[in-house]
Chain A
């Protein structure tokens, strides 16, 4: 019997595997319940959403999504009858509650702000981060360790502590409540992550490639562009997704520094209210739309996740 095909003496037994599997599946199912509940609530009618006991089976409705995207006013049944036929599904749904659509809600603009700010800051952070990471990876930079630590330490400050002077500075510069101000701020926060992660990725690309390219007559810059960047694509993509998720999820700065035109979705979603309190189906609908891109990214990223969340300190 060859050594390689020998059964490992330390492999867990079939029973212990089965028990482990059962516990893990049970934990996974319980921990996913709140998310399934968000998804389910987004398709409930407001009365169904606050029923007791909580309804697991219900007649799905798009009322939450209609309420999320519109503002409505209450009207008398006579007024609604006089309006003529409903123009769409949402129109029909809200009329059943004696309401008329008054106009679009702020959700779309807030969602678009989130997109602009998240993508803008991600692009800037990854651009700056790639350059710096290459610099730190390939050249002898004086005080490199101190500079790298300085870049990381900017992340240790509580966001509220940073927000106080930023608030004053932006007020002076006219950057309060602007997308540009938020992009700059998120770039600064994300660039530390980008530098640390990308330095790890670029360190893994053998220097020989560039050296060979430079012997062939490329300048250092051309070698960087033609050999290093193409090899670092996976790392850059993973880093970009991490930056995107941070900017997308960020709440503290957004809540304190934006109020209107540049407000992003996270501070907006909790403020969605209906008549008599929070409109939970609409909140759930907004939350669902907001979370879906992150779910997709998490699945795409699962192999790089560990690296991302530890600033590149742990690699598999």
Chain B
């Protein structure tokens, strides 16, 4: 009864007054709140993306803005897929991503597993371990050049101290076979804490009663690790691998400062190739096509991976 009166009063009230009483409608407010973000992303992310797609079909060169732009169709894409250098860059990237993720996952998980023992002072030491990942990869990567210097660098000195190889022979950045490892070492140093932190969350999410039940069943520690710890932490490990995979596929700053893709092109990961093509050779159309291919590759791989991750989670 009361409701109906209120309803009829509301209906009888003229529209502007009703609006003043209620304020903006929820739906209006929702759009008012969300649209600025969407507009900004459309302007700074999506519009440029479509522009890049358009450019990828042309022979446009950013250093010659007045030249007539020719439509090339799929010629840029065909050339990229047949370009030996691009494939070498993709292999370099795959090598970098594979080894960094493998090392970071192994070391990161082990560290998390040890920290989970909750020894005295574990919180303090965890914070210390986390510091490298918060720092600027560019600024710190730049300093690693100094650490890697043969003769005067701390890294070469420490390695020669342990191994007995003369420090002048440890040319981390200029030796063709060592340079790829120089970037893998810095990346692993920087980002192992990241994987560790996520794994730690995974380990802490495992309820204690499961271990207690296993203990009652007299499962060995080894068995508990393989049947409880690892499977239950797996979704977290996979999430860490996803984030690191995407980040390292895009890797630019640290590599650019550490080796700049050199010596020659031994450490030229995809982003470095892209920068050389776009901002040194000024092949804007060609590099846009490469950028689109990279984007589709990351996006596609990430999507497949997320599907696999969800399957593991549901298990």
Contacts and interface: CB of A to CB of B under 8 A. Distances in A.
Interface string A121-146: 00000001101101110111100000
27 contacts: A21-B121, A24-B126, A28-B125, A31-B132, A31-B189, A33-B154, A34-B143, A34-B189, A41-B146, A128-B37, A135-B34, A139-B26, A151-B41, A157-B250, A158-B249, A158-B294, A159-B250, A160-B252, A163-B278, A165-B51, A168-B51, A184-B40, A252-B271, A256-B279, A266-B138, A295-B131, A309-B133
B183 interface: no
A253 to B, nearest CB: 10
A310 B242 CA distance: 10
**Interface residues on chain B, size class:** 35 or more
A73 interface: no
Interface string A35-49: 101100100000001
Contact of A249 (B38, B137, B215): B137
Interface string A179-197: 0000011011001100100
Q: Is the interface of A mostly helix, strand, loop or mixed?
A: helix
Contacts of A280: 146
Interface stretch (A5-13, A63-71, A81-89, A229-237): A5-13
B229 to A, nearest CB: 11
A278 B62 contact: no
A182 B185 CA distance: 31
A130 B27 CA distance: 17
A305 interface: yes
B243 A156 contact: no
B278 A18 contact: no
A18 B51 CA distance: 59
Interface in A227-253: 245, 248-252
Interface in B87-134: 111, 114-115, 117-122, 125-134
A54 B274 contact: no
A88 to B, nearest CB: 28
Q: Is the interface of B mostly helix, strand, loop or mixed?
A: helix
B86 interface: no
Given A24-B129, A158-B291, A283 B143 contact: yes
Given A158-B291, A309-B243, A132 B119 contact: no
A112 interface: no
B234 interface: no
Contacts of A138: 30
B257 interface: yes
Contacts of B197: 305-306, 309
A21 B121 CA distance: 8
A169 B294 contact: no
**Interface residues on chain A, size class:** 35 or more
A156 B154 contact: no
B298 A156 contact: yes
A27 B106 CA distance: 14
A126 to B, nearest CB: 11
A219 B22 contact: yes
B222 interface: no
B136 A266 contact: yes
B292 to A, nearest CB: 8
**Among all A-B residue pairs, the 7 with the closest Cβ atoms:** A219-B23, A251-B138, A161-B291, A165-B48, A21-B119, A249-B136, A188-B44
Given A35-B131, A163-B278, 8 more contacts: A24-B115, A132-B37, A139-B26, A164-B278, A164-B284, A251-B253, A266-B139, A291-B139
Contacts of B22: 219
A278 B274 CA distance: 27
Contacts of B62: 164, 167-168, 171
Nearest to A186: B44
B24 interface: yes
A314 interface: yes
A10 B218 CA distance: 12
Contacts of A158: 249-250, 252, 270-271, 274, 291, 294-295, 298
Interface of A: 8-10, 12, 16-18, 20-21, 23-25, 27-28, 31-35, 37-38, 41, 49-54, 128-129, 131-132, 134-136, 138-141, 147, 150-151, 153-154, 156-169, 171, 184-185, 187-188, 191-192, 195, 219-222, 245, 248-252, 255-256, 265-267, 269-270, 278, 280, 283-284, 287, 290-291, 294-295, 297-299, 302, 305-306, 309-310, 313-314, 316
A156 B295 contact: yes
Given A147-B34, A252-B253, A34 B274 contact: no
Contacts of B74: none
B76 interface: no
B122 A305 contact: no
Given A24-B129, A31-B189, A162-B45, A131 B36 contact: yes
A158 B151 CA distance: 36
Contacts of A287: 139-140, 142-143
A10 B131 contact: no
B165 interface: no
B52 A161 contact: yes
B147 to A, nearest CB: 6
A219 B28 CA distance: 13
Contacts of B275: 160, 256
B128 A32 contact: yes
Interface string B17-35: 0000011101101111110
Contacts of A310: 198, 239, 243
A298 B114 contact: no
Interface stretch (B2-10, B77-85, B174-182, B204-212): B204-212
Contact of B154 (A31, A54, A163, A309): A54
A21 B135 contact: no
B118 A302 contact: no
A161 B146 CA distance: 30
